[in-house]
Structure formats: structure tokens, C-alpha cells
């Protein structure tokens, strides 16, 4: 029996009592050892930035406007930066005006502020299953009840969303909002098809819904394509979340929310209560980056690098994975979502994987309801190209051994194995649910 030794336990607020460190966090310390090939953290390849250019940008900010950069600023964020970030949105075809924007400490603070703005304990939020760990964290920290909508290779299954909305109506309840990551989703690595985006917009109108559209990866499409945003379809119903973390650098901790004006005003008040204002220093670094550097070229360079890494990973998976393992094929960004035969538990397997010097994130962290035990996220953006095959090879070896074990216990006709193999033959990239 584990004794709980936290002497403050009885005093915590209800929203804190159920919180515990995520598997991802516990992982970071081990997975960052050089001998481990880590497909765990969703980290951009910041080493691909032109560091001399970044140094010149930071120096210019201090030299030309040091006193302002080191001073407090306004709660909404600097108007100069807000105007520039609308240009980034327009580059992706997303409408926006500087007045609509609130600058945040990354997309993560944006998600937390939006949750704080709308969620009372027990309120329901509908979200893709699986979905972003930090998105779940922001919701559960505000005591939301997260209900998942299944996904497949075309993103959220919007007809399942329609059913969930009808089910809620039958219960006399309604969702506070729908949380979606339509482009190159974290963790599933798939994008919502265009017809589904239109159907989502239609359902939002029909059910009088708010949609929180989280879009860190839209500009990282391997074919340089842009997808229609939900914001452009139903602007008055969408709270849009952006970030420069994946197109410039997460270290500047700069994101933003574009929201209808009344919501924007509440969000500014909430953010002032949390941290007064975003950092002038990092806002001005981002401004100077966007005005003096070829940022569109940098995004292209990042995207080409990630496309190359994704091809290496997909090729390695094809050659190294045992039969019965399935995975998604990303069209952009960072992630491959892997489903293993049911006898294998990816949370249990992690310690062995790290022992074999390869790391991933077990699937359970990406669901609020504990499913995902037969899934894992592999992130290919960070490890160097020449280590990707090595890492996938180690994981393949481990899974081969694990499946041998499952067969030894259940026999070759283990029902879990057979059904998963058949499913793979019939619908490669079919339903991603756990």
C-alpha cells in the first residue's frame, strides 16, 4: 500500500486534488539522455533556426528599445505584434484583425484562459479522442468533463459528434464547447477533411455551439497546402488559438487568441489576473523576427525537414514493425499515431522501451477517460535523421518480442491479434479509437 505523505492534501482546492504529473513529464528527464532515441516530446527542431539571425534580432531589440522591452506592457499584448500575427494568420488564409487578438504565453495559456472563461465544475467539453495532453490538462484543471469524439484518417468523425450532441440534448445538457485541432492533429497526425469542417460548422450553427480551434501546425503542411479554418466558416462561434512555437520557437512563449469582442474582453481581464501582461521582451523579439527576417522561408525550411523526417520514420515503420501494428500517415507536422495489437499495453511497455534506449508517449495520456492503452505517439520532429531508423528498429524489436510473449500465452489465434490483423487488412488507417 502506498502511503500518501502530502501533509497539505486536506487543504487543496477541489480542482487540484485529482492532479498528478503526466507520464510525459516523468519521461522528459529519462528520455533526454543522449543514448535514448526519443520520439517522446513534441519538440520543434530549434537547431534548424539561423542562430546568428536570432542573436541579431535579440540584440536589436535591446539596443534600439531596451527600456520598453524591459518594462510592463498592456494586458492584450502589443498592438504591433497583434498586427503582425494577423499577417501570419492571413498567410494561412485565416481572417483576423489586430483588435481581435489577445497575446498569450504560448497556445497553452490560451487554452487555459479559454477554459477558465467558460467552464464551471462538471461542464461538458467535447474533444477529439485522442487529443492534446495540455488541452486535457487545461480542461480538467478547470473541472470540465471531457467527452471524446472518435477520429479516423479524416480527423474527427463529425457524425459521431452529431450523435453526442443529440445524446446530450436527450440528457437535458449541452456542451460548453467543442475543442478541436483540425490540422495535423497532436497526437493522431491526421487532418480534418474539408467536408467535415463544413459539417462541423453546420452542427455548431444548429446546436448553438462554440468551437475552440487550436492550430499550432497548420503552416507545417508537407505539400505547402493550407486548409480552410473553422474560424473563416463561422467567425462568431470560433475562439481561435495560435502560437509561434512551431513556426519560430517555443522558447519565446508567444501565442494568441482571436475571439469575438465580448469574449476577448473577458480573456484580457482573466489574463491580467493571472500574469498582468505578456513579456514585452519576447513580444518584441517576435515582432523583430517577423519584420526583419524571412520567416516564410524559415517555415518552409522547417517543413521540408519534418517531411524528410516523416518519410524516414514511415519507411522505418514499414520495415521494422511486426504484423498487427498499425499507424497513421501524417501530411504535415510532427506525429505518427501507432496502434498495437490488444495484448500489449503501451504504458507497461514504456519502461522496457527506455531500457532499450527508445522513448515514446503511451496513448493513455491523450484521453481523459483512460482509453488508449494499445496506442502510442511517436514524434519525429526532434531526433536527428540518422537516429530515426535506429530508434524505430529498437521499438520494432521490442514489439516483436512482446507479441511473441502474447502468442505464447494466448496461442497464435489470440482473438485480440486476429481481430487487429483483420482490421488492418480491411481499413488501413481506420478508426483510431482505443
Ligand X SMILES: Cc1ncc(COP(=O)(O)O)c(C=O)c1O
Q: Binding residues for ligand X, per CB under 6 A? A: 42, 106-108, 132, 134, 181, 186, 214, 216, 243, 245, 250, 255
Based on CB atoms, which residue is closest to ligand X, 283 or 356?
A: 283
Residue whose CB is less far from ligand X, 238 or 349: 238
Nearer Cβ to ligand X (42/365): 42
Residue closer to ligand X (CB basis): 133 or 403? 133
Closest CB 56 distance from ligand X, rounded Å: 24
Please report which helix (H) or strand (E) contains residue 298, including its range. helix 295-320
- Select 129 or 396, whichever has its Cβ closest to ligand X: 129
Return the closest-CA partner of residue 399 out of 324, 309, 316.
324
- C-alpha 110/C-alpha 103 separation (Å) is 8
Only one residue has cell 499515431, namely: 337
Encode 122-175 in three state secondary structure: CCEEEEEECCCHHHHHHHHHCCCEEEEEEEECCEECHHHHHHHHHHHHHCCCCE
**Which residue is at the shortest CB distance from ligand X?**
106
In the Cβ-directed half-sphere of 130, how many Cα atoms lie within 13 Å?
33
CB of 250 to ligand X, least distance (A): 4
Q: What minimum distance in Å lies between the beta carbon of 248 and ligand X?
A: 10
Residue number with CB closer to ligand X (118 or 366): 366
Compare residues 42 and 396 and give the one whose CB is closer to ligand X: 42
- Residue placing its CB nearer to ligand X in the complex, 255 or 434: 255
- Answer yes or no: are the C-beta atoms of 214 and 180 closer than 8 Å: yes
Query: Across-strand partners of 240?
Result: 213, 258
Number of alpha carbons in the 13 Å side-chain half-sphere of residue 30:
18
| Nearest distance, CB of residue 134 and ligand X, angstroms | 6
The pairing of beta strand 361-362 with beta strand 375-379: antiparallel
- Write down the least CB distance from residue 337 to ligand X, Å: 13
User: In what helix (H) or strand (E) does residue 54 lie, and over which residues does it extend?
Assistant: helix 51-69
Q: How far is the CB of 40 from ligand X (least distance, A)?
A: 12
CB of 286 to ligand X, least distance (A): 12
Q: Which helix (H) or strand (E) holds 89?
A: helix 79-91
Contacts of 364 (CB under 8 A, 6+ apart): 23, 346, 347, 370, 371, 372, 373
Beta bridge partners of 327: 338
Report in angstroms how near the CB of residue 380 gets to ligand X at its nearest. Answer: 14
Sheet of 175-180: strand order equals: 101-104, 255-258, 238-243, 211-214, 175-180, 124-129, 145-152, 155-156
Q: How far is the CB of 309 from ligand X (least distance, A)?
A: 16
Locate 390 and state its grid cell. 535506429
Closest distance of CB 48 from ligand X, Å: 17
User: Quick one: 216 or 391, whose CB is closer to ligand X?
Assistant: 216
- Biggest CA–CA distance in the chain, Å, is 72
User: Which residue number, 101 or 321, has a Cβ lying nearer to ligand X?
Assistant: 101
CA–CA dist 333, 306 (Å, integer):
7
Amino acid at each position: 500500500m502506498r502511503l500518501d505523505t502530502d501533509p497539505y492534501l486536506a487543504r487543496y482546492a477541489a480542482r487540484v486534488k485529482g492532479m498528478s504529473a503526466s507520464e510525459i513529464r516523468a519521461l522528459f528527464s529519462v528520455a533526454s539522455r543522449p543514448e535514448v532515441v526519443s520520439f517522446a516530446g513534441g519538440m520543434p527542431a530549434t537547431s534548424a533556426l539561423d542562430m546568428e539571425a536570432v542573436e541579431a534580432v535579440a540584440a536589436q531589440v535591446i539596443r534600439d528599445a531596451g527600456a520598453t522591452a524591459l518594462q510592463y506592457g498592456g494586458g492584450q499584448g502589443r498592438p504591433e505584434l497583434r498586427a503582425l500575427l494577423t499577417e501570419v494568420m492571413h498567410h494561412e488564409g485565416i481572417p483576423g484583425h489586430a483588435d481581435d487578438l489577445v497575446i498569450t504565453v504560448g497556445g497553452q495559456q490560451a487554452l487555459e484562459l479559454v477554459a477558465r472563461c467558460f467552464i464551471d465544475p462538471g461542464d461538458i467539453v467535447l474533444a477529439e479522442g485522442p487529443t492534446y495532453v495540455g488541452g486535457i490538462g487545461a480542461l480538467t484543471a478547470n473541472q470540465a468533463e471531457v467527452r471524446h469524439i472518435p477520429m479516423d484518417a479524416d480527423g474527427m468523425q463529425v457524425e459521431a459528434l452529431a450523435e453526442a450532441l443529440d445524446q446530450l440534448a436527450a440528457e437535458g445538457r449541452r456542451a460548453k464547447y467543442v475543442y478541436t485541432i483540425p490540422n495535423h492533429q497532436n497526437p493522431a497526425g491526421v487532418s480534418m477533411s474539408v467536408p467535415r469542417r463544413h459539417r462541423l460548422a453546420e452542427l455548431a450553427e444548429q446546436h448553438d455551439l462554440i468551437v475552440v480551434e487550436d492550430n499550432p501546425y497548420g503552416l507545417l503542411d508537407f505539400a505547402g497546402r493550407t486548409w480552410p479554418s473553422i474560424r473563416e466558416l463561422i467567425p462568431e462561434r470560433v475562439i481561435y488559438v495560435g502560437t509561434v512555437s512551431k513556426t519560430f520557437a517555443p522558447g519565446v512563449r508567444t501565442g494568441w487568441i482571436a475571439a469575438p469582442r465580448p469574449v476577448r474582453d473577458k480573456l484580457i481581464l482573466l489574463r491580467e489576473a493571472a500574469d498582468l501582461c505578456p513579456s514585452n521582451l519576447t513580444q518584441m523579439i517576435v515582432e523583430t523576427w517577423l519584420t526583419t527576417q524571412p520567416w516564410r522561408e524559415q517555415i518552409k525550411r522547417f517543413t521540408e525537414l519534418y517531411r524528410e523526417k516523416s518519410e524516414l520514420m514511415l519507411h522505418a515503420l514499414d520495415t521494422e514493425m511486426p504484423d498487427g501494428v498499425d499507424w497513421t500517415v501524417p501530411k504535415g507536422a510532427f506525429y505518427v499515431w501507432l496502434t498495437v495489437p490488444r495484448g500489449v499495453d503501451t504504458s507497461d511497455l514504456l519502461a522496457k522501451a527506455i531500457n532499450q534506449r527508445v522513448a515514446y508517449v503511451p496513448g493513455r495520456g491523450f484521453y481523459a477517460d483512460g482509453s488508449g492503452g494499445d496506442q502510442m505517439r511517436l514524434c519525429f520532429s526532434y531526433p536527428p535523421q540518422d537516429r530515426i531508423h535506429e530508434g524505430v528498429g529498437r521499438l520494432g524489436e521490442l514489439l516483436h518480442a512482446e507479441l511473441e510473449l502474447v502468442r505464447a500465452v494466448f496461442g497464435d489465434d489470440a482473438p485480440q491479434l486476429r481481430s487487429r490483423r483483420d482490421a488492418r487488412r480491411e481499413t488501413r488507417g481506420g478508426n483510431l479509437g482505443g
